[in-house]
Structure 1
Amino acid sequence: MRVGKFLVVQGIRSRFFCMLTDVALGTANQRIIANPPSWEDTFLREVLAGSGTYGSINLTPMLMFTPENVEDSMVNGNIKSAKVSSSLASFEAQTSTTMELLPVKTIPSHFSQVYEALEEDFRRVFGWEDDPIRKNFSIGKPLDMDVPVCLDLNRFVERSNGIFGKSGTGKSFLTRLLLAGTIRKNAAVNLIFDMHSEYGWEAVSEGQQFSTVKGLKQLFPNKVEVYTLDPASTKRRGVPHAQELYLSYDQIEVEDIKLCSRDLGLSDASIDNANILCAEFGKSWILQLINMSNEEIKLFCEEKRGHQGSITALQRKLLRMENLKYMRAACPHNYVNQMLRSLEAGKNLVVEFGSQSDMLSYMLVTNMITRRIHQHYVGKAEKFLQTKNPSDRPTQLMITIEEAHRFLDPSIVQSTIFGNIAREMRKYFVTLLVVDQRPSGIDNEVMSQIGTRVTALLNDEKDIEAIFTGVAGGSALRSVLAKLDSKQQALILGHAVPMPVVVRTRPYDTLFYRDIGDPVWEEKPDAEVLAAAELARADLGF
């Protein structure tokens, strides 16, 4: 028995699906601990085992099922054995068919039988990957069973979600798995801000030997488009058909600068003066400011009641943008509108940053593009609500951001587009997939709105506490999360799964490419490669 195991308790009227949350040793008498038998005294240890010494396990009921025609087996406080056997037979017959899983409202009686969960139990709870109705996707398998655990992708994409774990626990691989499943099942279109160029094209695999794993563009060449802020870097990596992405100063608004104020070193006074400049010069306020002399700044402050020191500091710090490869004084082509057209056509977009992966660039570009796309989606959603015409319904959009605590920090979350999206949930058909190793840095209100949480190992107590913000019964799962292995294990809980579950995550390997990717993703691998992959998966129990 190990923490995270899936167990079933068979009561008289209901069946309870439970998770093992803790294991402990106990003794019937404290004198045994005060005077324990020596290790060589095997006879005495065997005498005490099971009576004087024992092990205990803690179960947390997560779901229950009560068939409608199970008769009340309690008559005058006594159990009638005939009715019990009849009820259990009826129970087994009904659980072999479709059933409705309900939240736990009671507990099983004393002496109820506890069983290890079977494959049929997992199927009843988590469904089948080939379900014709639900868009299920297998994310892994239980720790000690060979049966897939499925996420309902329709429920997954309709709310904002999070992937958490400390550095080196495989967050990027979990993200690739979920993004590949979303694309394969056509559950949503994705806009992925790829800070370290890991999702679009091939990336380095973690391990002692150097190897690479395929990106989304390789698996779905006709469904994924790659935009790059650093064409030279993308070309060196061999990414085909990557589209260059440029932004201009006149596209930057004060709200975009405000999000980057920490990285630019701007004070609140500088932001206030930026609003004054924007009100005077409109979209060209940054170009006007950069080209102003000290005398012109002085005259402007006298006329518009600005602060000369703050505006001078703002000018000096905005000059850093001249070193950004993707920034232009003016862009004849509107790349954001081009990206919108691709999203509406059902294309999934990956924005690679290449060498421009510093936090200033990541936060500036991500905020600029997201604000405009969200504004477009708000307009489309309002039109759909007005016309009720299915053809006007926007395609569900999921935006993936890394280092999410930088965008969702409590001090700025109320004024950022990402905080708005997380709180709005599915109202405007736009949700977030946040990837972070410091969930404690994310605002509590936003964390409480995270629908599904896929969490690898965390050690910091504040981070563990943040994971269970807004989760009923989260205290019972803390020990489960703390006991995960550092590789290829995750706790999944929330909207897309019926109950919390610990899984060995699905290997991201050649067989996964073959199962999930488009038929044209690559030439067929040779027999030796497939045989080696099969052997590796067999060793892992897959």
Structure 2
Amino acid sequence: MIIISRIGYIIGTKNAEKGLFSCILLSEEESNKISKVQEGSYVYVKAEDEEDIIYVGVVKDVQVINPQVNDEGMQFWKDRLRELDHAYSVLSLTEYKVVTVHLFCSYDQEKREIVPIISWISPGTELKLADETLVDSIILRGEDGLRVGTLAYLQTEPAIKLHPDKIIEDSLAIFGTRGSGKSYAAGIILEEFEKYGTPCLVIDPHGEYWGLNQLVKTNAQGELEILAEQGITVNVVYPGQLRDGLTAEQKYTAIGFPPRCIKEMFERIQECDNLFLTPLQINFSDIGLTQITSLVDFTSTQIETIETIWNRITDNYQNAVFDPIGFFQYGLANDDIGRRTENALRRKIEIINGLNIFKDYGQRIVDKETGEILWPENIHDGSQYDTESLQMGHFGPKQITILDVSNPELSEPARLSFCASILNSVKDMMRKEIFRGLFILAEEAHRFAPIDQRVPTKSILEWFAREGRKNGAGLCLVSQRPSGLDRDIISQCNSKILMRLTEQADLKVAADIIAGDFRHYIDRLPYFQQGFGIFMGSASFLPIVIDFRERETNSKFGETKKVVPDITDREKSVAVYQEEWKEKMKQYS
């Protein structure tokens, strides 16, 4: 049984159908719990006719009422407050607090079951403050899970434990403006999934998540210190190819689009054995006609020619892979390319080939299953090619695989095509039950699934949101612009975290997400402090405000760089700039 001193009484009904009741609070002298009661506090009342049944609710608002300060008495007290220092103490004698409570369920303390509210609640019924055990049992269902933070606004601070399977089943979306802490919160969720051994895949267009491999702590000065103990195993996959005969760093960066933080990664690799770099190329034949024509500005005649070649290959070879130059040569051999089109089309295909994101098959068409040459048909040299781009070895238990597409020189169409090909390969692996489970997180999701735009990643992300759970794959979309994200995909994400939002268009999306008696949170979203977010989903009985915990791993690679070195010392800032400038000039002179 839960025993807590009363904090007030039910005094009336505001809306019985919605479970809204007015309650008067006791004074601080009568109850030492009064200081803890605020909007968001969890409370309960005992049922009149059932000994073990309690009605649980949440405080929606708190009002301070004083009968002395009404329309008639307002002018009197307005004049006295100007003249008398002790006038406020006179007013406080008749001041009291009234709260509106939303009672949302009944709880059987003996059976530990949630049951409907069935009996009337009479005026005068005692109102009590729920303790941590009750909140954990009812709101969070008393289960262990992803320990992401605590309940905000409560002094009891019960730990938030979100059931990982429910997050996977629902699909999750995290929305928040820049600086709200959305990517930081996403990192916490990744840390928690790793503790359960769940393989994770992160689509990272900023190069900010690889710091998960570094454990950190905050020192006495409030600065982050990297610990000697290693963090999560991280495999950074990026568009590129190894090149032999070069230094260790050069062979990873000579071909393709290495990560934005490649230098820092190499420095870290020298100190640890839980960070890996994996350049990867995809099959040109896997990306589809629409994606091919988006990589370069083709004319309508050139697009028709590409379609003719593509259809001829797919008609003649059911399961084939090929590179861009092999595709072009096959078109020439079959007279699909006119003389007027040949040179211009060749240059554009060479530009695509020069992106170095596609596997090289020596200008041949190859069987995808066996790796044997299908065309030219007169070549029988016994050559076999490795046609797989993404393999099971790129993932692992207690490992986070990061698809790093942060290189600024990588064009957006190439970035989208690369990510779409990887996600389609993951989809095939999940269908073949190669994985028991996988958690996929897409940062800047509005770029990969924009509203009213067709991009190659959009349909595959929609599949993971809709069907992924049936194949053991969970999806998390992170975006600072929910208004720019496809509405169908948002609707498929049944769990959502809303952090600070300020744009009117984004707040309209939030208004569509938050329903019922919790819509008053929408007006508060622009004023949420960093690291606060409303969670809604099956892992919680009702919406809750989470105060996200501190990250256990390094998050500095996602932070905005300081423009002013020292805000408190202008001369020092100037000196820092001058010294850095001299060093840079030496490097580039």
- Per the normalisation by structure 2, the TM-score is 0.63
Counterpart code for 2:47: I
**Aligned equivalent of 1:349, options 393, 401, 405:** 401
Counterpart code for 1:504: D
Counterpart code for 1:167: R
Matched, 1:279 2:311: yes
Do the aligned partners of residues 148 and 471 (structure 1) sit closer, same or farther apart at CA in structure 2, a change above 3 Å counting? same
- Contact between 1:189 and 1:395, CA under 8 Å: does it hold in 2? no
Distance 2:188 2:239 in 1: 25
How many residue pairs get aligned? The number is: 451
Structure-2 residue corresponding to 1:196: 206
- Contact between 1:135 and 1:153, CA under 8 Å: does it hold in 2? no
Distance 1:342 1:488 in 2: 32
Structure-2 residue corresponding to 1:120: 133
Distance 1:327 1:363 in 2: 14
Structure-2 residue corresponding to 1:254: 288
Structure-2 residue corresponding to 1:99: 112
- Contact between 1:137 and 1:151, CA under 8 Å: does it hold in 2? yes
Which residues of structure 2 form unaligned runs of 5+?
Answer: 1-35, 241-251, 254-261, 315-320, 363-384, 556-589
How far the C-alpha of 1:58 sits from its partner, in A, is 4.4
Counterpart code for 1:160: S
Q: Secondary structure at the match of 1:434?
A: strand
Distance 1:105 1:511 in 2: 50
Do the aligned partners of residues 302 and 361 (structure 1) sit closer, same or farther apart at CA in structure 2, a change above 3 Å counting? closer
Do the aligned partners of residues 9 and 508 (structure 1) sit closer, same or farther apart at CA in structure 2, a change above 3 Å counting? same
Counterpart code for 2:405: F
**Aligned equivalent of 1:137, options 146, 149, 157:** 146
Structure-1 residue corresponding to 2:179: 168
1:109-168 deviation digits (Å, cap 9, x = unpaired): 54544433321222213559xx8xx55122111233232121111211223111221111
**Aligned equivalent of 1:492, options 530, 535, 553:** 535
Distance 1:274 1:480 in 2: 53
Structure-1 residue corresponding to 2:460: 417
Structure-2 residue corresponding to 1:219: 231
- Contact between 1:19 and 1:501, CA under 8 Å: does it hold in 2? no
1:355-399 deviation digits (Å, cap 9, x = unpaired): 25654443222111001221332344xxxxxxxxxxx9x512221
How far the C-alpha of 1:434 sits from its partner, in A, is 0.7
Distance 2:485 2:132 in 1: 37
1:62-85 deviation digits (Å, cap 9, x = unpaired): x41243xxxxxxxxxxxxxxxxxx
How far the C-alpha of 1:418 sits from its partner, in A, is 0.8
**Aligned equivalent of 2:525, options 473, 481, 495:** 481
Distance 1:420 1:403 in 2: 18
Counterpart code for 1:179: L
Q: Secondary structure at the match of 1:355?
A: coil
Do the aligned partners of residues 205 and 119 (structure 1) sit closer, same or farther apart at CA in structure 2, a change above 3 Å counting? same
Structure-2 residue corresponding to 1:18: 57
Distance 2:470 2:238 in 1: 30
Q: Secondary structure at the match of 1:453?
A: strand
Distance 1:360 1:477 in 2: 38
Structure-1 residue corresponding to 2:419: 366
Counterpart code for 1:365: F
Matched, 1:64 2:105: yes
**Aligned equivalent of 2:360, options 307, 322, 329:** 329
Name which of structure 1's ranges 433-442 and 272-281 shifts more when overlaid on structure 2: 272-281
Distance 1:270 1:437 in 2: 38
**Aligned equivalent of 1:444, options 479, 482, 487:** 487
How far the C-alpha of 1:457 sits from its partner, in A, is 0.8
Structure with the bigger percentage of helix: 1
Distance 2:348 2:126 in 1: 69
Matches within 5 A, 1:454-469: 454-469=497-512
Which residues of structure 1 form unaligned runs of 5+?
Answer: 68-93, 381-391, 513-542
- Contact between 1:399 and 1:432, CA under 8 Å: does it hold in 2? yes
- Contact between 2:65 and 2:98, CA under 8 Å: does it hold in 1? yes
Counterpart code for 2:423: T
Distance 1:314 1:104 in 2: 72
Matched, 1:453 2:499: no
Structure-2 residue corresponding to 1:244: 278
Distance 2:77 2:348 in 1: 71
Q: Secondary structure at the match of 1:416?
A: helix
Q: Secondary structure at the match of 2:113?
A: coil
Distance 1:267 1:18 in 2: 64
1:170-200 deviation digits (Å, cap 9, x = unpaired): 22221111011111023x3211122222223
Alpha-carbon RMSD: 4.6
**Aligned equivalent of 2:196, options 170, 180, 185:** 185
Matched, 1:376 2:421: no
- Per the normalisation by structure 1, the TM-score is 0.68
Distance 1:244 1:456 in 2: 34
Matched, 1:401 2:439: no
Q: Secondary structure at the match of 2:416?
A: helix
Q: Secondary structure at the match of 1:101?
A: strand
Q: Secondary structure at the match of 1:115?
A: strand
1:449-496 deviation digits (Å, cap 9, x = unpaired): 2122122211123213323535532523313434421x1222111122
Distance 2:454 2:97 in 1: 47
1:247-274 deviation digits (Å, cap 9, x = unpaired): 145344226717x94x866899987775
How far the C-alpha of 1:107 sits from its partner, in A, is 8.5
Distance 1:172 1:312 in 2: 47
How many percent of aligned residue pairs carry the same amino acid?
17
- Contact between 1:407 and 1:416, CA under 8 Å: does it hold in 2? no
Distance 1:2 1:267 in 2: 68
**Aligned equivalent of 2:159, options 139, 143, 148:** 148
